Amino acid sequence: MRLIGKQEIEDIAIGAALLGTGGGGDPYIGKLMALQAIEENGPIKLLSPDEVPDDALVVPSAMMGAPTVMVEKIPSGEEAVGAFESLQAYMGKEIFATMPIEAGGVNSLLPLALAAQLNLPVVDADGMGRAFPELQMVTFYLDGVSATPMVLADEKGNNTVLNTINNVWAERIARGATIEMGGSVMLSIYPMDGKIIKQSAIHNILQLEEKIGRTIREAKQNNHEPIAEVLKLTNGHTLFNGKVTDIDRKTETGFARGTATIEGINSNQNEELYLKFQNEHLIAETRKRTLCMTPDLIAVLDSDTGLPITTEGLRYGARCVVVGLPCDPKWRTKKGIETTGPRYFGYDMDFTPIEELMNKGEQ
């Protein structure tokens, strides 16, 4: 067990935004909520998965919706508490701890804010090791864990308890309800016991986020190259140097979808990179070749500061470095690729790991 204070939150917010691969919500909002909650309730207890009793009930907490909507519809924190308490009442069992479902600006930090408000510990684990746009895209799903009973709650006071036959139906029905509830809602989802978390979750994700954030912060302080340091830490690769020249983005069927075009500079002069996204970045490709594809991670970093830029934060003219990181090995299994690979999102290509794509490029 260790305590998370304000500096840790600052660092986690940066790391979470990077692993959020463009999605997972605005890190600024998540950070403010967590800082505020710590201000009011003191530091947050972070448990490693091994510290959770096998039979303890843990319920991840998350925001669902298009990030373009989330930016304009800032949660008050009440909805998350409401969703959590509704699920506890419905299940008739006390909840021992919460945890993030994914890595991302809002969704890494929201469970920390909730935990501070409710004086509960947070488990240092998540279900993606990155952010993904759909509810069934979690390692728990790969291991057959049900997303339901789950609760959706909005800021107006509406709440919905879902019980579905499988997690694809949970995604579908919850997405429909979310759209009607104003485009974003708070979830309590994937209630699990400690034993399942030890087996199925991706461990120490908050620790990794904190390390990424600290690395970027310290590199700047010491005049080192933040991006190079981060790539060392995450086994990542630089995909492209450029500036944003076009963003074609729609908010449709509850998602922010589109393509960002980045014009090459320096070593990428006279090339263009196309970033396809559905909340999160899915594919990075030039006219000639694919550089990185889901479930591997694609992040856009500010050239100067090394700080991650979310999909909805992409602005015309922004100078950036696009990087690619290998995903957790759980996503590179057959079921992992079926669930989150390029074909699931409608791209007619086989998943190829970033390491191989990089090797091809060098040949």
Question: What gap in Å lies between CA 109 and CA 201, rounded to an integer?
Answer: 17
Residue 344 contacts a copy of itself per CB under 8 A: no
The piece of 15-23, 128-136, 153-161, 234-242 that touches a copy of itself (CB under 8 A) is 153-161
Residue 243 contacts a copy of itself per CB under 8 A: no
Give min distance, CB of 170 to a copy of itself, in A.
Answer: 8
Structure tokens at 109: 């930090």
Question: What gap in Å lies between CA 321 and CA 152, rounded to an integer?
Answer: 36
The piece of 39-47, 95-103, 154-162, 237-245 that touches a copy of itself (CB under 8 A) is 154-162
Question: What gap in Å lies between CA 150 and CA 138, rounded to an integer?
Answer: 15
Question: What gap in Å lies between CA 128 and CA 138, rounded to an integer?
Answer: 5
Q: Show contacts with a copy of itself in window 14-73 (CB under 8 A).
A: none
Task: State the pairing for strand pair 202-203/125-126.
Answer: antiparallel
- In the three-class reduction of DSSP (H, G, I as helix; E, B as strand; rest coil), residue 308 is classed as strand
Residue 88 contacts a copy of itself per CB under 8 A: no
Q: What are phi and psi of 81, to 5 degrees?
A: -65, -40
Structure tokens at 170: 């949970």
List the beta bridge partners of residue 176.
Answer: none
Give min distance, CB of 137 to a copy of itself, in A.
Answer: 18
Which of 68, 164, 234, 290 contacts a copy of itself by CB under 8 A?
Answer: 164
Residue among 156 and 334 whose Cβ is closer to a copy of itself:
156
Per the CB < 8 A criterion, the answer to whether 298 and 322 are in contact is yes
Question: What gap in Å lies between CA 288 and CA 357, rounded to an integer?
Answer: 12
The count of residues interacting with a copy of itself (CB under 8 A) is 21
Give min distance, CB of 20 to a copy of itself, in A.
Answer: 26
Q: Show contacts with a copy of itself in window 166-195 (CB under 8 A).
A: 169, 172-173, 175-177, 179-181
Q: Which residues bind a copy of itself (CB under 8 A)?
A: 86, 90, 156-165, 169, 172-173, 175-177, 179-181
